[in-house]
Amino acid sequence: MTITSFEELALAAPLKRALFEQNYATPSPIQAQAIPLLLEGRDLLGIAQTGTGKTAAFSLPILNALHQDPRPLRRKSARVLVLTPTRELATQISQSFATYGKHLRFKHTLVFGGVGKNPQIRAMQPGVDVLVACPGRLLDHLNEGDIDLSGVEYFVLDEVDRMLDMGFLRDVKKIVAALPRKRQSLFFSATLAPQIKDLAHSILENPASVSIAPEKTTAEKVAQKVCFIDKEAKQKLLLQHLEAQRNKGLTIIFSRTKHGANKLCKVINSHGFESEAIHGNRSQAQRDRTLAKFKKGSLPILVATDVAARGVDVKDVTLVINMDLPNEAEAYVHRIGRTGRAGAAGHAVSYCSPEEHEFFIDIEKLIAQRIPVDSSHPDHHEELASLHAQGRTSPLSTRDNGGKTRGGGGNRGRSRNSAHLGQRTRQPNQRNASGRSRRRSRA
């Protein structure tokens, strides 16, 4: 049976009332498919992109179960554990529980890094119904005896692909080992790579599967362009783009490093614009204040690193600028997905220097399309554009920013002597437990 209205779902009246107050009438595809299965108590493997409505897909049936089966809280424990990779995403999920459960009586709290532990310890002392947490800080609390997961009845592992990208696989396995065997488990990921599939099989018991293909890929929804340019000329071009963007909506600028984000803010602000940075070195309170200003529109420009921007969901972002190209093509899709949300128009411009050319080739390969070249700016790199058009790689292109190899050298990436794309050679990476070469960043 095709579900066309929330009224058709077997949800408690207080939940339907909250949905009505939010003007939610028609469930998204993942909500229509997942909620009936979860109401039956099934484990679920959900494959869905961010922005498909999966938070409501799991929070509504969980809140329904808590409402129908109220139980005394257990000290230091939670009935529901939602594990998610970043603080921003954790905050959004907690807010969704509060919104949908506004007419229910339940306790919920957040646990993540970047803030003091003591308030979290105090919040967990009497026990809660719903705990939304990031792996690093939650594992710290578990190791110190501040949190007990033996009472968890419902476990949600969200954004699993990103969780593994950030190096949390080992932490996730330790947390799962602390859960009771008898529970309902929900597993959500945008992709189902072999490592993710193996993790799902170790967590889920005879799961139902729901796979939602987006109507349009992020790359199709966002108007993209690339500027081939020497890295020394990027700042000048950025200021030109910001001037053209003035009073036309919100802008997110991506920097590959925290230091680069801070430095960029100083340059931008010294030229009469207003910007702030968001990255892992800023405290949670600072990040919350910056995001609040950005969402209200009082801060027009946000400079961000990849991890910090994962949970940024602001519908009025009209432009994304990739000051540095990411060294993983998947991150590009996540970046430009910050614009063009909720049906709005979105634009993304990327600055590609000769040193970053291989990253750009990987991006086009991933999204299976050519990104239009903007040659109208005065610092257009004609030689690089010509090489790219011929399917050749810049001889300066390396696997790290600025032409430097990581970890003290070692000829990673392509040889400077091979000019053709087909001749690129890659050396094996040193990988951590997540299968990525990136160092773990605790959320």
Cα(245)–Cα(231) distance, integer angstroms: 21
Q: How far apart are CA 93 and CA 158, in angstroms?
A: 10
- Residues contacting residue 98 through CB under 8 Å, at least 6 positions apart: 108
Of 362, 350, 385, whose CA–CA distance to 224 is shortest? 350
Q: Which CATH superfamily is domain 6-211 in?
A: P-loop containing nucleotide triphosphate hydrolases (3.40.50.300)
Among candidate residues 167, 109, 103, 182, the one with its CA nearest the CA of residue 135 = 167
What size, in residues, is the chain? Answer: 443
State the burial class of residue 116 (Cβ atoms within 10 Å of its Cβ: 0-12, 13-18, 19+): exposed
Distance in angstroms (rounded) separating the CA atoms of residues 360 and 225: 12
Can you give the pLDDT at residue 362?
Answer: 87
The answer to whether 261 and 282 have CB atoms below 8 angstroms apart is no
Q: Mapping DSSP to helix (H, G, I), strand (E, B) and coil, where does residue 290 land?
A: helix
pLDDT of residue 165: 78
End-to-end alpha carbon distance in the chain: 40
Could you tell me the residue ranges of all domains in the chain?
6-211, 218-423
394 and 387 in contact (C-beta within 8 Å)? yes
- Find the helix or strand (DSSP H, E) in which 253 lies: strand 250-254
The amino acid present at 306, given as its one-letter code, is D
Q: Decide: 417 and 442 in contact? Cβ < 8 Å.
A: no
Nearest Cα to Cα of residue 150 among 90, 41, 43, 75: 75
- CATH code of 218-423, in short, is 3.40.50.300
Residue partners of 239: CB distance under 8 A and separation at least 6: 268, 271
- Which among 310, 352, 347, 89 has a CA at the least distance from the CA of 218? 347
Largest CA distance in the chain: 69
CA–centroid distance for 83 within its chain: 13
Digits of tens for pLDDT over the chain (443 positions)?
Answer: 678 899 999 999 999 999 999 888 889 899 999 999 999 999 999 998 766 788 999 999 999 999 999 999 999 999 999 999 888 889 989 999 999 999 999 999 999 998 899 999 999 999 999 999 999 999 999 999 999 999 999 999 999 988 887 889 999 999 999 999 999 999 999 888 888 999 999 999 999 999 886 555 566 678 999 999 999 999 999 999 999 999 888 999 999 899 999 999 999 999 999 999 998 788 878 888 998 899 889 999 999 988 766 667 777 889 999 999 988 787 888 888 888 766 667 899 999 999 999 899 988 888 888 999 999 999 999 999 999 999 888 888 764 333 333 333 333 333 333 332 233 333 333 333 333 333 333 44
Spatial distance between the Cα atoms of 3 and 30, rounded to a whole number of angstroms: 11
3-class SS of residue 293: helix
Provide the edge-to-edge strand list for the sheet that holds 250-254: 223-228, 347-352, 317-322, 250-254, 301-304, 275-278
For residue 187, what pLDDT is reported? 96
